Amino acid sequence: MGTVMFYHLTRSSAEQTARVLISRAMAQGWRLMIRGTQEAELNRLDARLWATPEVSFLPHGREGGPHDRRQPLLIGTGPATNGAQGIILIDGAEVEQSEAERMERVWILFDADNPDRLTHARGQWKRLTDAGLPAQYWSEESGKWEKKAEKG
């Protein structure tokens, strides 16, 4: 069982933060899933990942394609059918306890400017830590990422 890491976005966008996390995880040979709730946002992210390879190319595919199981990074709203070791949750996406327990890492990215997302992330923290999953809370309020809390 890995760790659930909550990233409270105050300066960086979800895309910027996800790029860093994806690069680090892929360097370790992990397969990943980015799960969101808004198809338009996931389509935008997919297009940006293909359009900006000069930043750092991240091989990926959108959920529902013929090669989902082979994708090193799968983007969608459903289950991680690509054998992912990590899941990045954006836009209030959910992870079930049993799925989180199978992962090396679950990253939950939530925007400080969205009170609904903040409330949602607090609920996820309580639900997952009450279930015994180790969790960390990270904030970039000071200008750099700092671990503010840890449980488990």
Q: All domains of the chain, ordered by start, with CATH?
A: 3-151 (3.40.50.10110)
Q: How many CA atoms lie within 13 A of 13 on its CB side?
A: 5
Predicted confidence band of residue 10 (pLDDT cuts 50, 70, 90): very high
Is the per-residue pLDDT at 27 higher than 80? yes
Strand order from edge to edge, sheet including 3-9: 61-62, 73-76, 32-35, 86-89, 105-111, 3-9, 135-139, 146-151
Is the per-residue pLDDT at 19 higher than 90? no
Is the per-residue pLDDT at 56 higher than 80? no
Non-local (6+) Cβ contacts of 3 within 8 A are 105, 106, 133, 134, 135, 136
Instruction: Decide: pTM greater than 0.85.
Output: yes
